[in-house]
Amino acid sequence: MRFPQNESTDHEILQQLEALRQGDADWRSGKTWSLVYPTGDQHPDFVRQAHSLFFTENALNPMAFKSLKRMEHEVVRMCADLFNADRQVVGTLTSGGTESLLLAVKTYRDIWRLRHPRRLGKPQILLPESAHIAFHKAAEYFDCQLRFIPLDASMRARPDELRKMLGPRAMMVVASAPNYPFGTLDPVDDMARLAHQAGVPLHVDACLGGFLLPFLEGIGQELPRFDFRVPGVASLSADLHKYAYAAKGASVLLYRGMDLLRHQFFAYADWPGGMFISPALLGTRPGGAIAAAWASLNRLGRQGLERYARQIHDASQRLKEGIRQIPELELLGDPPASVLAYRSRLPGLSIYAVADRLQAKGWHIDRQQRPESLHAMVSPHHGPIVDEFLRDLREAVAQVKARPGAGHKGQAALYGMMAQIPLRGMVRQELLKTLEALYGPEGRIPDLANQPPDWKTRAAARFLRLREKLALLRPKP
């Protein structure tokens, strides 16, 4: 493929795009059990329109696009309310769950380093064996050590094992609500209590369940607490492009206070291109995703999200009950929401071969390992096709059972010091204060263009006073 030499017409390019996606997973007919979260109605069309309105805008500069900063602030406040937080909880939007988790790890690593100036070795992330793979990426990026909390028979983290692991090198504890592999909720209450007693922050990865679990509670399902109602929860992340039905990629990352969030910020004062501040990992931050998240939450509200939650609950219950009625299969744990995994009970019946049979019928099936299992994430769009899938699943199991060695392709389980001049350090602190104002509970946008450079004056005055004090302390000749 060489770089194109000539222009093409819109029609030619759009035709090529249509042709390219013909081989993609068929999510429109409900044939996929992950990656896409269709609602089965006109809501995605509305989200696309909202996204398009801010297709070009860039949240890199909140002074230039105040609309995006206002929408981000309002989404953060709406989410803080949803997750039972007080006014001191603050946060940012990110490009997805992975960025949210990377930022949480970076934040707690920096806090740990400040608390332990004499290094004790690598700081440790204490996380369940089922925690999201993004924590592995974060540990590699930020030079941390992973220590895994074993799971119990219900595929939930064991607090008794966590108790043994808490020590001076523990920089954070992770709990999932729910985890991706099995859809089970870790015991956040017990884990947060132990972490809090040890002075270690606990992060709740609710990227999957954050915008589903509260609405399952709203329709009467009893669930354990996982949010800021639990005193030891220091931070929480939840993906808006999953069960809030926004455009990819949008996630929210909340902290219990600015004393935590400020360690996420980046500020640099000496770059030739100008002073630079950034609240998250990305520089350019697409405006469309922020606008789509704001639009989706405001359009659906609690009423709409509870309606979708009921559809998901009904489809999930039918799917789980149908799997339980197949003698050769079993569910892993007792997943309460929309995510589940199931495996073969029989040593000679390969669950991967079952997946091959299903795939031949047009289903996109996720394979998992440790243990070998198949994975499903239910969306509102799946309700009408649950019976069809269960029928195909029963047939696939019967076929593999009849011919154990046939049709197994063996597919693997896949997922995807500042400048030495003191003044520069002072400027950096003022830049960080600007970020704190932007991302604080009030979401203030300082009008820097029309204000006198008070922070520059203050910083310069502080530097001059410091220099005078140092001069007085020098011995006289």
For residue 403, give the DSSP letter: S
Judgement on whether residues 149 and 65 belong to the same structural domain of the protein: yes
Q: Are 355 and 365 in contact (CB under 8 A)?
A: yes
Dihedral (Cα; 231, 237, 240, 244), 10-degree rounding: -30
Asked which of 299, 315, 349 is the last residue of a domain, the reply is 299
User: Residue 472: its pLDDT value, please?
Assistant: 54
**Residue 8 placed within a domain:** no
Task: Look up the pTM and report it.
Answer: 0.86
Asked which of 241, 273, 299 is the last residue of a domain, the reply is 299
**Residue 384 placed within a domain:** yes
Q: What is the pLDDT of residues 27-55, one digit of tens each?
A: 777 788 788 887 878 998 999 999 998 88
Angstrom distances, CA of residue 266 to CA of 107, 262, 276, 396, 406: 11, 9, 8, 53, 56
Judgement on whether residues 269 and 349 belong to the same structural domain of the protein: no
Judgement on whether residues 387 and 467 belong to the same structural domain of the protein: no
Q: Kindly give the interhelix angle for 134-142 and 97-115, rounded to the nearest 10 degrees.
A: 40
Q: Which domain holds residue 426?
A: 422-445+452-473
| Lookup: tokens for 443 | 């979401």
Q: Report the number of distinct structural domains present in the chain.
A: 3
Radius of gyration of the chain (CA): 25
CATH of the domain at 133: 3.40.640.10
User: Residue 477: its pLDDT value, please?
Assistant: 44
Distance of CA 89 to the CA centre of its chain: 17
Separation of alpha carbons 468 and 466, rounded Å: 5
Length of the chain counted residue by residue? 477
Judgement on whether residues 251 and 393 belong to the same structural domain of the protein: no
Judgement on whether residues 220 and 75 belong to the same structural domain of the protein: yes
**Which of 70, 101, 476 lies closest to 252, judged by CA?**
101
> Which residues have a Cβ under 8 Å from the Cβ of 85 and sit 6 or more positions away?
227, 228, 254, 256
Asked which of 299, 323, 340 is the last residue of a domain, the reply is 299
Strand intervals (E) in 345-403: 366-368, 373-377
Judgement on whether residues 62 and 139 belong to the same structural domain of the protein: yes
Q: What is the pLDDT of residues 400-441, one digit of tens each?
A: 998 876 555 545 454 433 333 344 555 667 667 777 777 788
**Residue 61 placed within a domain:** yes
**Residue 193 placed within a domain:** yes
> Which residues have a Cβ under 8 Å from the Cβ of 212 and sit 6 or more positions away?
242, 243, 309, 312, 337, 338
Q: Are 230 and 212 in contact (CB under 8 A)?
A: no
**Residue 95 placed within a domain:** yes
Separation of alpha carbons 198 and 163, rounded Å: 9
The DSSP line for 154-198 is TS-B-HHHHHHH-STTEEEEEEESS-TTT-PPP-HHHHHHHHHHT
Judgement on whether residues 282 and 324 belong to the same structural domain of the protein: no
- Per-residue confidence of the chain (477 residues) as pLDDT tens digits? 788 888 899 999 999 888 988 877 777 777 887 888 878 789 989 999 999 988 887 787 777 788 888 999 999 999 999 999 999 999 999 999 999 999 999 999 999 999 988 778 899 999 999 999 999 999 999 999 999 999 999 999 999 999 999 999 999 999 999 999 999 999 999 999 999 999 999 999 999 999 999 999 999 999 999 999 999 999 999 999 999 999 998 999 999 999 999 999 988 888 888 878 788 888 888 888 999 999 999 999 999 999 999 999 999 999 999 999 999 999 999 899 899 999 999 988 999 999 999 999 989 888 988 899 999 999 999 999 999 999 999 999 999 998 876 555 545 454 433 333 344 555 667 667 777 777 788 777 665 445 444 544 555 555 555 555 555 555 544
Judgement on whether residues 273 and 326 belong to the same structural domain of the protein: no
Judgement on whether residues 307 and 290 belong to the same structural domain of the protein: no
Strands 170-176 and 124-128: parallel
Judgement on whether residues 78 and 173 belong to the same structural domain of the protein: yes
**Residue 88 placed within a domain:** yes
